[in-house]
Amino acid sequence: MAASPSRTIAFEVLRRVEEEGAYASDELHEALGASVKPVDAALATELTLGVLRWRRLLDCLLERHLKKPVERLDLPVALALRMGIYQLRFLEKIPARAAVNESVELVKRARKTSAAALVNAVLHKAAGEASTPAEKLLLPNLQPAERLAILHSHPTWMVERWLSRLGEVQATALLVADNERPRLSCAMHESSRRQEIFDELEAAGMRVEPGVLLKDAFSVSGGSLAKTRAFQTGLISIQDEASQAVPLLLGVQPGDRVLDLCAAPGGKTAVLARAAGSDGIVIAADRYAHRLRAVRAQFERLKLTSVQLVALDAERPLPFSRQFDRILVDAPCSGTGTLARHPEIRWRLQPEQLDEFHRLQVRMLRNALAILAPGGRLVYSTCSIEPEENEDVVAETLRYEPSIRRVPTNTAVASIQQHLADGLAAETLFVRDGSFRTSAAVQRTDGFFAAILERPRS
């Protein structure tokens, strides 16, 4: 008996995530080609992302029946056990017998036949308590942060800092949101063809729902969006709604000179290029050539031919002789606002890295401000929810740059209100200091931060 295609794909993707530092979304995109049946693609995706999201809880439950921590097992054995117990705990439609037997086959396929008996025994024991709430199986003397961290499968240090900053109610809501399947959000590039696009997607078996933030956003479920004519001809793109909203904060006007300093994969640049029009100048920059190649491929699909691509290191003074009217600095960051979409981040990130990101972000922001024209506007954004990467970066930069000021909140609100979904007040997306914020727990989008800065004309 061989393991099913869906489980084999999930197993291999998880192995590459662990061994090679790959990202699950990228690996799934590569693995789930046209030859993979939709039902197998759906289960492979569910298993991969589910195991990554719930890894800590899964390991805790497995270790009740093991003599050593899961992380000390050979990786193929650990992955087979995690996949097995995830199915037992979270996928009620899969028979326990199938979950156990397929996990045993995965171990054999990985040439770890000697561990097959261990996997079989542990998962049979886990199956016997699969209906028992996890909380009842934890040790009774755990500290509150530790208990929350295990039950919601996050690192303890992350939970501790969120509890300290947000309080238990908001922190718990965020933990819950991080473990929910995120919406597959899309941007519509030609709103006049809205009904035509929706009709095509629904004919392909997809369910279409309106966006929660933006008029020209929507979400889909079921089917393969990338195989549709609407996607292939550039009428739509896959992009989280908060990510779609960030470039709108720049208020780009026709004819503007625009710089997207950290452009890959190019979704935000596309918004800027359309707003600048044929008379504008738009430059998409990134540090790595392979990322710019991906941006170029994106622009070819979207039929954007006027954007100039430049490879540069944004940590160094920027090589432009002229200033820009609008600059977007969507900075590299920890990604803690995207843990539902990229669950592996929670296991890779270390607390000391937040300070490293902070120093990098300050350098990038200061270099960008040096080429912002008088009267120009800059948006600094991250998909992080950590103060070190957001408020603290802006505050430190403004101490160095006394001529720069924040755009007033009412101006920021006005810049985006026209783009928002009916009934949504822009004020709800801004905090007291004028920063733009979204949250997986509140808006059901990625958690984004954006600060809007300007250089006065005199």
Measured distance CA(149)–CA(142) in Å, rounded:
10
CB 401 within 8 A of CB 369: yes
Q: Is 422 left (phi over 0), alpha (psi -120 to 50) or beta?
A: beta
Distance set, CA 380 to CA 1, 130, 269, 273, 280 (Å): 54, 46, 14, 18, 21
Euclidean distance between CA atoms 241 and 6, whole angstroms:
29
Annotated catalytic residue: which of 60, 262, 333, 383?
A: 383
Q: Is 262 among the catalytic positions?
A: no
**Cα(135)–Cα(250) distance, rounded to whole angstroms?**
47
Burial label, 6 (beta-carbon count in 10 A; 0-12, 13-18, 19+): buried
Burial class (CB in 10 A: 0-12, 13-18, 19+), 154: buried
Among candidate residues 243, 405, 455, the one with its CA nearest the CA of residue 335: 243
- First CA to last CA across the chain, in angstroms? 76
Joined together, the tokens standing for residue 265 give: 């994969």
Residues with catalytic function: 383
